[in-house]
Structure 1
Amino acid sequence: MKSLWHHLELLRPLNLVTSAFAMIVCASIMDGICDTKTLLLTILVVVCYNAAANAYNDIVDYKIDMINRPRRPLVTGAVKIKTANILSTILFIAGSLFALILHPWAAFIAIGLALPTLIIYSKILKGTPLIGNAAVAAMLSLSFIFAGAAFGKIETMIIPACLAFGLTFVRELVKDIADIEGDSTAGLNTFPVKVGLNKSAKIVNVGALIIGIGALIPFFYNYYGFPYLLVLVLGVEIPLAMIVFSFLKRPAIKQAKRFSEVLKFSTIAGLMAFFMDNYVR
């Protein structure tokens, strides 16, 4: 039983539950919650790809995690690297097979765009200043476009995808700040390693301000209403403001670790803003 848990831990179950929930919310936004076949397939594709990427990423990050995350299953020896490789391969194949059942555009986004990006990021782009961060953000935003394609409503998911991209980009940069010591030791040339803590914090603040202001624009143009604004302010704008004020005062690795987790849930909160607006208005 303990061994099973370690294998599940490798796949990061909380992330998988979050990604499945995100697809349910996406379906609700597009009034496709009753299309259970499409909904189930989109969840399976996203969860399989996410789980496969998590396992593969832990393989690539093995040496770095010995410093940054010493309790990860591969580092402790609870899961063998060979086993993680097999799991990752099976899950990538399963996700691709599920994607082929969906609309051709959804299959193309999953297999032709998301899958190569996942692999290229882990092997080449990871640790590349800003480009690596943008790649992770693009992968998450693609999941929303993928859901839109699966339900035949890509245009509905463009703004949510843009918000997800911005929040994820900032979160990845904050996470790089939190991991600066381990990344430096491992020889990764991340943006904080290259330019330092203070300059990285300034870029985070600029990004947070752009996202905070940009997310309000659809409301001011009457594209979304007050339900959107209320959830956005509580779940996105306030956390972004906290980051800006905290980093302006004194950027620190400990703060970055805390804010990295906060921003993970801000992405879901942003999605809920669209959901609430769709159902309350």
Structure 2
Amino acid sequence: MKPIPAFFKLVRWPNLVFIVLTQVLFQFCIYAPVYRNNIPVKDTFQFVLLVIASVFIAAGGNIINDYFDMNIDRINKPGKMIIGKYINRRWALVWHMGLSLLGILLTAIAVNPFSRWYLVVANVICVVLLWFYSVRFKKDTLIGNVVVSLLTAWTIMIIFLSKFSFSDAFHNTRPEQLKLFRFAVLYSGFAFIISLIREAIKDIEDIAGDQKYGCKTMPIVWGINATKVYVAVWLMLLICLLIVVQVYILQLGWWIDVVYCLVFIILPALYLFRKLIAAGTPKEYHFLSTLTKAIMLTGILSMALFYFHL
């Protein structure tokens, strides 16, 4: 494999495209219709920089994750190793540090570091969390899964918080801000829960390599059956919440949105629940992990439907 394709595989470019897609949809299908004529002149410039910053930080996190996972990946994913095979370990560290620092710098340029300093600090925390996740958290019970899920939800929340004014919220909250807040909570909450589900399924899939190197993931500490129950509970909670949201949307007469959610999100989630119970091989768990990612994609794509209603 040549260096450039190897690098794109290392940073997991499909995941980076997913981040860009999520933020673009939130920007143009949720934020833009909600605010309409009240969008600041420099908003697009700020948004582009924040998207690039998110991609750089995520790419740096993927690199450092593979860097510390070399021994485990020799067992779980021997055919997918990049570091040490196509890219030198030292260069991997250089790329991690460079992309992470660029991500933080672009965040500071995008937002006013004096009025929205918390966004810069938050992205610094993201870089630190990604490092400690790779070194320690992913080997511990539940902590690593929560960290990944929070970082997934953050890709939406950072765009929302770059628009949200806390000074206005404390005095007189505008209807636009309240509406945008609801959508941010809805989609970041969805991203958080579906990520918790996928990470637990991936832990079951990777149990062989994790056991050999002393990891204490849920399937190892709790057992596979208990982890399945954990996934099933979160899955049922997600389905119930989605049904509640659809009941609310029905009152607005948005039938297409309800049909989309039922066919492309709720029914696949129910199918995932059914297949989870019978799953027993790494191949089956890999299919469940892929299906979960597909549900996440269809959930995020549903933002496009709101463009025609807001």
TM-score normalized by the length of structure 1: 0.91
Judge which range, 127-136 or 48-57, deviates more.
127-136
CA offset at residue 19 of structure 1?
1.0
1:209 aligns with 2:236: yes
Cα gap change, 1:219 to 1:42, in 2 (>3 Å)? same
Which of 83, 90, 100 is the equivalent residue of 2:91?
83
- Which letter does structure 1 place at the counterpart of 2:221? K
- Which range moves more in the overlay, 116-125 or 13-22? 116-125
User: What SS does structure 1 have at the residue aligned with 2:308?
Assistant: helix
**Distance of 1:192 and 1:122 partners within structure 2:** 19
1:131 aligns with 2:140: no
Within-5 A mapping of 1:150-229: 150-152=162-164, 155=181, 156-222=183-249, 225-229=254-258
Deviations 1:212-251 (A, max 9, x none): 1112222323487434323322332122211211122344
The answer as to whether partners of 2:2 and 2:86 remain within 8 angstroms in 1 is no
Q: CA RMSD in A?
A: 2.2
With a CA cutoff of 8 Å and minimum separation of 6, indicate the structure with the bigger relative contact order. Answer: 2
Residues 209, 252 of structure 1: alpha-carbon distance in 2 compared, 3 angstrom cutoff: farther
Change (3 A) 1:108 1:268: farther
Provide the C-alpha distance between the structure 1 equivalents of 2:141 and 2:264, rounded to a whole number of angstroms. Answer: 28
Stretch deviating more after TM superposition (193-202 or 140-149) = 193-202
The answer to which of 135-144 and 242-251 deviates more is: 242-251
Q: Which residue of 2 aligns with 1:11?
A: 11
1:44 Cα offset (Å): 0.3
TM-score (norm 2): 0.83
2:160 counterpart residue number: 148
1:18-69 residue CA offsets vs partner (Å, 9 max, x unmatched): 1111111110211189843122112101110110000010011111101111
Unpaired runs of at least 5, structure 1: none
AA of the residue aligned to 1:266: I
Partner of 1:51: 59
CA contact (8 A) 1:227 1:277 kept: no
**CA distance in structure 2 between the aligned counterparts of 1:202 and 1:210, rounded to whole angstroms:** 12
Which residue of 1 is the match for residue 264 of structure 2? 235
1:251-275 C-alpha deviation (Å, 9 max, x unpaired): 4332211111221232221122233
Between the two proteins, the alignment pairs up a number of residues equal to 280
